[in-house]
């Protein structure tokens, strides 16, 4: 039997999984700019690799691929248990922490090594330090235009491929090789691409609350777009110079990026004490106010509630909101204390932008659903597939984006090779 020849462009999480799936039934060549596969994978989860989450991933995604139903169909075929079973069959031991799955070794390298080992077993040919510059289709076959980074030399690869899987990632963390080349290939073949924007990143705010006084606080946050509630999140807020950060902010950043790109207004409302309701906080602050002496600074109202640094930031914000910049020291009435309690549970900050791609974990936007079949092949170019982060689907923190990389890679890999039986 003559096996199909398949090229996979990009040896990230989705490219490796696509190569492994396709190699069940085809001869696979895998190209990457880097000298080793999985350059970005090694950095995931702070080097520990949160590769899956116990929750249903579907509600954790945005973008046209999610809205169209393509994403839910793919996750139905490759749900959490299927992916765990697959990694077990590859020889990976894993464990669960706070709802996320990690390699038992807590080392991203061990998961990467497992994938590299399976690729070797399946005789995937890895071509390191090669940048694919172009894809040409002649009749039913594809030819690649290659740039050899080590030798600084361009060449046309004479090998005809029956199918090409583009797994070039998005534009996030470009130092790992993901510089948006897949969008360029897609547009060259007439596919539609939603503007790529940074996601899972910090937000920017002009509010002076975000000064050099770096603080962390356990909060819940709501995102409002054009003053309508859009999404909520909770966790550790990092108050940094120029804007908020932390995982609860990362999870809202993709929605904020899309809205700001459309010229809509964005703000967040932070509840600095989600565990207390307004009445409980009001009574607590009343008791605290009785103890403040004439010589104590206003921030002493929050002694034992917030860290010193956070108390100072919150006092400054309250003074601007309630007292036109004057200190509220010595003028605290019951009704002002109630206003303070309300504001601590609903403090608004305008959002003016997001962090750049260099410090973002994923890309929002990419190749849209209207150009693709449910098996991730291009509607207008038979044999051309796209997988992973280059697609218009971005998920929350917690292992969801890697679940998408595995599931979309398996879908494209099996479909490209024409496999009937899938593992």
Ligand X SMILES: Cc1cc2nc3c(=O)[nH]c(=O)nc-3n(C[C@H](O)[C@H](O)[C@H](O)COP(=O)(O)OP(=O)(O)OC[C@H]3O[C@@H](n4cnc5c(N)ncnc54)[C@H](O)[C@@H]3O)c2cc1C
Q: Which residues bind ligand X (CB under 6 A)?
A: 9-15, 31-34, 39-41, 43-45, 49-50, 131-132, 167-169, 172-173, 177-178, 181, 361-362, 388-389, 399-402, 405
Tokens 């051309």 belong to residue = 384
In the bound complex, what is the minimum distance in angstroms from residue 400's beta carbon to ligand X?
6
In the bound complex, what is the minimum distance in angstroms from residue 9's beta carbon to ligand X?
5
**Identity of the residue, 169 or 383, whose beta carbon is nearer to ligand X in the bound complex:** 169
In the bound complex, what is the minimum distance in angstroms from residue 385's beta carbon to ligand X?
13
**Identity of the residue, 199 or 347, whose beta carbon is nearer to ligand X in the bound complex:** 199
Whole-angstrom distance, CA of residue 37 vs CA of residue 177: 11
In the bound complex, what is the minimum distance in angstroms from residue 121's beta carbon to ligand X?
20
Tell me the three state secondary structure of residue 108. Answer: helix
**Identity of the residue, 6 or 405, whose beta carbon is nearer to ligand X in the bound complex:** 405
Closest CA to 120 of 16, 39, 43: 16
| Residue 249: C-alpha distances to residues 79, 237, 245, 279, 370 (Å) | 27, 7, 5, 27, 30
In the bound complex, what is the minimum distance in angstroms from residue 312's beta carbon to ligand X?
31
**Identity of the residue, 177 or 243, whose beta carbon is nearer to ligand X in the bound complex:** 177
Give residues with Cβ within 8 angstroms of 223, minimum separation 6. Answer: 229, 230, 231, 232, 233, 252, 255, 256, 266, 267, 268
Whole-angstrom distance, CA of residue 178 vs CA of residue 33: 9
Q: Looking at beta carbons, which pairs linking 320-328 to residues 24 or more positions away fall under 8 Å?
A: 320/208, 327/298, 328/298
**Identity of the residue, 311 or 364, whose beta carbon is nearer to ligand X in the bound complex:** 364
| Residue 127: C-alpha distances to residues 3, 29, 259, 327 (Å) | 20, 7, 40, 65
Closest CA to 143 of 152, 131, 134: 134
CB-based burial, 268-292: b 16+ in 10 Å, e otherwise: bbbbbbeebeeeebbebbeebbeeb
DSSP 208: T
**Identity of the residue, 179 or 303, whose beta carbon is nearer to ligand X in the bound complex:** 179
In the bound complex, what is the minimum distance in angstroms from residue 45's beta carbon to ligand X?
3
In the bound complex, what is the minimum distance in angstroms from residue 407's beta carbon to ligand X?
11
In the bound complex, what is the minimum distance in angstroms from residue 362's beta carbon to ligand X?
5
Whole-angstrom distance, CA of residue 203 vs CA of residue 350: 10
Alpha helices in 38-180 (DSSP H): 64-68, 70-77, 80-90, 108-121
Whole-angstrom distance, CA of residue 143 vs CA of residue 366: 24
In the bound complex, what is the minimum distance in angstroms from residue 49's beta carbon to ligand X?
6
**Identity of the residue, 46 or 335, whose beta carbon is nearer to ligand X in the bound complex:** 46
**Other Cβ atoms closer than 10 A to 12:** 28
**Identity of the residue, 16 or 351, whose beta carbon is nearer to ligand X in the bound complex:** 16
In the bound complex, what is the minimum distance in angstroms from residue 16's beta carbon to ligand X?
8
**Identity of the residue, 44 or 311, whose beta carbon is nearer to ligand X in the bound complex:** 44
**Identity of the residue, 126 or 328, whose beta carbon is nearer to ligand X in the bound complex:** 126
Closest CA to 348 of 244, 199, 214, 262: 244
């Amino acid at each position: 039997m003559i096996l199909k020849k398949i090229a996979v462009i990009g040896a990230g999480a989705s490219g490796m999984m696509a190569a492994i799936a396709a190699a069940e039934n085809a001869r696979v060549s895998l190209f990457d700019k880097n000298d080793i596969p999985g350059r970005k994978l090694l950095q995931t989860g702070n080097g520990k690799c949160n590769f899956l989450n116990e929750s249903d991933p579907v509600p954790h995604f945005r973008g046209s691929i999610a809205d169209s139903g393509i994403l839910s169909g793919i996750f139905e075929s490759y749900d959490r248990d299927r992916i765990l079973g697959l990694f077990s069959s590859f020889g990976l031991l894993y464990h669960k922490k706070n709802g996320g799955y990690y390699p038992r070794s807590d080392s991203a390298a061990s998961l990467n090594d497992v994938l590299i080992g399976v690729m070797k077993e399946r005789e995937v040919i890895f071509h390191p330090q090669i940048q694919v510059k172009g894809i040409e289709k002649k009749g039913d076959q594809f030819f690649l235009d290659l740039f050899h980074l080590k030798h600084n030399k361009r060449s046309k690869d004479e090998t005809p491929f029956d199918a090409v899987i583009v797994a070039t990632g998005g534009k996030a963390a470009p130092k790992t090789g993901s510089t948006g080349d897949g969008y360029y290939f897609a547009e060259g073949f007439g596919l539609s691409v939603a503007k790529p924007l940074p996601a899972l990143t910090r937000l920017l705010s002009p509010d002076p609350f975000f000064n050099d006084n770096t603080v962390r606080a356990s909060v819940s946050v709501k995102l409002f777009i054009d003053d309508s509630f859009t999404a909520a999140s909770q966790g550790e807020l990092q108050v940094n110079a120029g804007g908020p950060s932390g995982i609860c902010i990362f999870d809202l950043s993709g929605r904020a990026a899309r809205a700001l790109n459309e010229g809509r207004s964005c703000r967040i409302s932070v509840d600095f004490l989600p565990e207390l309701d307004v009445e409980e906080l009001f009574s607590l602050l009343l008791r605290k106010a009785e103890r403040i002496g004439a010589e104590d600074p206003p921030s002493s109202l929050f002694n034992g509630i917030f860290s010193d640094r956070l108390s100072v930031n919150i006092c400054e914000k309250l003074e601007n909101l309630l007292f036109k910049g004057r200190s509220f020291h010595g003028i605290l009435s019951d009704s002002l204390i109630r206003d303070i309690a309300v504001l601590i549970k609903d403090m608004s900050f305008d959002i003016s932008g997001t962090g750049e791609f260099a410090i973002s974990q994923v890309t929002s936007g990419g190749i849209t659903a209207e150009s693709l079949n449910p098996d991730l092949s291009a509607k207008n170019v038979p044999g051309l597939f796209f997988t992973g982060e280059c697609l218009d689907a971005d998920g929350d923190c917690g292992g969801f984006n890697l679940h998408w990389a595995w599931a979309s890679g398996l879908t494209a890999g099996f479909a490209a090779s024409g496999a009937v039986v899938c593992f």
